[in-house]
Amino acid sequence: MSGGVSVKPEISSYQDDPQVQQRRWRILIILNLFTFMATLDGSIVNVALPSISNSLGLELGHAQWISSIYLMAICSFILLFGRLGDIFGKIRIFRIGTIVFVAGSLLCGLSGSLAALIAARIVQAIGASMTMANSQGIVTDIFPSSERGKALGLVGTFVSLGSIAGPGVGGLMVSSLGWESIFWINVPIGLIAILLGAKLLPGDIRTSKKSIDGAGSLLFAGFIVSLVAAILIGQEIGYGDWRILALLVFAAASFLIFLRTESRIGEPMLDLGLFRNPLFSLSILCGFLVFVSMFCYNIIAPFYLQSILGLSPSNAGWIMMIYPLVMVVVAPLSGAMSDRFGSEWLTFIGLLLMIGAQAGLAALQEGSALLTVGGCIALLGLGGGMFQSPNNSLVMSTVPRPRLGVAGSVNSLIRNLGMVTGIAVATTTLFGVMSGEAGYRVTGLIPDRPDIFLSGMHVVFTVAASVCVVGALLTGWRLLNRKRGGHDRHEVGGSKEHGAGSPSGSGTARAANGKP
């Protein structure tokens, strides 16, 4: 079936199309392949930076931009492509994104200089943002409410797998195949997925004649670029530097003008009305907090395992793989449970487990047993798996179909901002504490002083646990309010089809008002 727009006009929903329903789980596999690759490439490069630096003759500070520019570009473009998905068709934009991503991956592996590699990473990020912005909306469109939590749970599984598996997978690949392999592996897998998509993905049945918000796109890109640049460069030169302060002022001004512009035009890139729904806004905020906490672990754990416990990079990678392995088992189960029992309790329990895991990591010492370390990591994966799937379901099930593209892109944007923020929080806190302990500015590990690193690590994981506590308090408050009101999750976005199952915005309005 072709990927044209508005085909099969007699079908008003993919859920009414028996052919689409027959192959919906195979479609999900295609979506998840690109979800995994796109998120993996946000974290896998970090472990390859020393090899890339040696190969291209780069300073490590300059090489860091190979990783940073990818996340920056995704955050800059993702809302735009969510909007384009709603206008031209989510599946059409997703298809184009798969081709762009594979082409960018090939160019990354062929790059022979820093400039060429950064340019290729931007191409790769544009393709990734096209797929990220629309995959959750496609899933919500295709799957009935009785299976939506399970399907979004699998998407969340592959998101978290890609985000957290990077150091482990990357370490194994770089050590055996070279740094180019982390990009080239995307090419054959991506081509297979593209060919399968040409056969299995349906054509778009819902498009819009709305205009593209060019001013909003430029303002938002300016906000993201200046904010992320301030966060990343500030780690190196200090956040009190006038250049960093100027970037932050520019970011704040761009964001305020963006909000003002979006609230005044008839067809904005970001429908601010989505955030009037407290369930949507709270779920988005909790997702951001969890990814901040998760990337604190992702940054600190390799240093602890290799420099403090003395593990080899490959062995450290295997230990870190415990997290995604637990996630891949738990997240689909929690998604299925959210379809049956509702999402709020599962997200709350998941956050409590993550608090316990981060507290356990904060108590690790130089002589801690690997069994203890592995147990904390497994508990973190268990909590993350229980949280991610139901939370994704809560986000997407409260949004009307015409705005699924924007909602999915907002969800992906918040995830990537959480990654960037988590990296900044972890490194800034770690080196700030270490500098205080050492009595001078520290930007790396101090030989023969594991105690100083451990002091910083303990504070980082305490901060990460505190971030999860904030999320748990918000979720607990939501639970109490909904219990007093006598409502359950299915009245808002589940079997009653308020939101994603509703052809209009009435579902969002009802959810926002707390009415069935």
Residues 86 and 220 in one domain: no
pTM above 0.75, yes or no: no
Instruction: Judge whether residue 357 has pLDDT over 80.
Output: yes
In a domain, 454, yes or no: yes
pLDDT the model gives residue 483: 64
Residues 387 and 401 in one domain: yes
132-151 per-position pLDDT tens digit:
888 878 887 888 877 776 77
In a domain, 7, yes or no: no
Q: In sequence order, what are the beta bridge partners of 204?
A: 5
Q: What is the Cα Rg of the chain in Å?
A: 22
The domain in which residue 336 lies consists of: 14-212+269-513
Rounded to a whole number of angstroms, the distance between the first and last alpha carbons of the chain is: 38
How many CB atoms are closer than 10 A to CB 357? 27
Most confident range (mean pLDDT) of 116-125, 237-246, 336-345, 478-487 is 116-125
HSE, CB side, 13 Å, CA atoms: give it for residue 365.
2
pLDDT classification of 107: cutoffs 50, 70, 90: very high
24-69 per-position pLDDT tens digit:
888 888 888 888 888 777 767 766 776 787 788 876 556 767 877 8
Residues 205 and 253 in one domain: no
In a domain, 9, yes or no: no
Residues with Cβ within 8 Å of 337's Cβ and at least 6 positions away in sequence, in order, are: 149, 346, 390
E strand intervals along 99-226 = none
Residues with Cβ within 8 Å of 324's Cβ and at least 6 positions away in sequence, in order, are: 160, 161, 164, 165, 168, 381
Residues 292 and 438 in one domain: yes
Q: In sequence order, what are the beta bridge partners of 5?
A: 204
In a domain, 115, yes or no: yes
pLDDT the model gives residue 208: 65
Instruction: Judge whether residue 460 has pLDDT over 50.
Output: yes
pLDDT the model gives residue 318: 79
Residues 237 and 319 in one domain: no
pLDDT the model gives residue 313: 66
Residues 206 and 253 in one domain: no
Tell me which of 239, 268, 297 is where a domain ends. Answer: 268
Residues 356 and 485 in one domain: yes
Tell me which of 268, 288, 312 is where a domain ends. Answer: 268
Instruction: Judge whether residue 515 has pLDDT over 80.
Output: no
In a domain, 4, yes or no: no
Tell me which of 237, 268, 299 is where a domain ends. Answer: 268
CATH number of the domain encompassing residue 478: 1.20.1250.20
Instruction: Judge whether residue 17 has pLDDT over 70.
Output: yes
pLDDT the model gives residue 253: 94
In a domain, 6, yes or no: no
Residues 200 and 225 in one domain: no
**How many structural domains are present in the chain?**
2
Instruction: Judge whether residue 183 has pLDDT over 80.
Output: yes
pLDDT the model gives residue 232: 72
pLDDT classification of 334: cutoffs 50, 70, 90: confident
Give the integer Cα–Cα distance in Å for 2 and 201.
Answer: 8
In a domain, 3, yes or no: no
pLDDT the model gives residue 60: 54
In a domain, 134, yes or no: yes
Residues 181 and 295 in one domain: yes
Residues 233 and 373 in one domain: no
Mean pLDDT of 227-243: 78
Mean pLDDT of 423-436: 85
Instruction: Judge whether residue 174 has pLDDT over 50.
Output: yes
Instruction: Judge whether residue 285 has pLDDT over 80.
Output: yes
Residues 504 and 380 in one domain: yes
pLDDT the model gives residue 87: 83
Residues 457 and 470 in one domain: yes
